Structure 1
């Protein structure tokens, strides 16, 4: 199982209606076929860290992760979601102890960045890293 946890906050100017739609878009993404389990809601961590919400998905394996990353619902959700976020942090973990799993996941991410450069730029900006 590959688990992806995203902690995030909204830009201050994003109205409550749009925040609700972002959470709804995340729930739609989390309901796609490749996802084994998911939750979307408030972040219960230290408020000083600046995160207000969290998104978690469990993906069974690399094949499912590939389908998840390119699912049309996921792609459409990202188009709506990313521009409304102020901060984003990710934790990825797995019960699969294959030593090259992280490299394979990272390679999948890089292929997606190559396919969707604007998406890659938006994600990199939220994480504060170059794309």
Structure 2
């Protein structure tokens, strides 16, 4: 099982309507991506971020399905322009020592095939985590 998580803050000036649309898009991912077995989207307490989400995914094949699913891409393309700081992380009970490398490689493969997404992520003030290309990458 892989639990993929994100934590983020919205940019100043994002309207309540924009915020709710972005959060609803995250919820929609959980509802429509077949490999997601459960999810939570809501307030993030106890850190520097305001909001967060976690998605439980059975295995690496399901993780790839999650990464490239149109619902996830929609969230990225509509939500990332509203985000100021962002962190992603993965927790797994898979004992294979190379699971983290495989997850990072999937993220990199996705960035390599979707230059518009790479640009959106690169434009964030802060992005750390799963194969993040980093802010203002060339």
Three-state SS of the structure 2 residue aligned to 1:36 is strand
Three-state SS of the structure 2 residue aligned to 1:13 is coil
- Residue of structure 2 equivalent to 1:110: 108
CA distance in 2, matches of 1:121, 1:96: 31
Where does the alignment leave 5 or more consecutive residues of structure 2 unmatched?
A: 129-133
Give the alignment's TM-score, normalised by structure 2. Answer: 0.87
Aligned pair count reads 128
After TM superposition, give the deviation of residue 72 of structure 1 in Å.
1.0
- Residue of structure 1 equivalent to 2:120: 122
Where does the alignment leave 5 or more consecutive residues of structure 1 unmatched?
A: none
Moved over 3 A (4+): none
| 1:27 and 2:27 correspond | yes
Three-state SS of the structure 2 residue aligned to 1:37 is strand
Give the alignment's TM-score, normalised by structure 1. Answer: 0.91
After TM superposition, give the deviation of residue 65 of structure 1 in Å.
0.7
After TM superposition, give the deviation of residue 125 of structure 1 in Å.
3.7
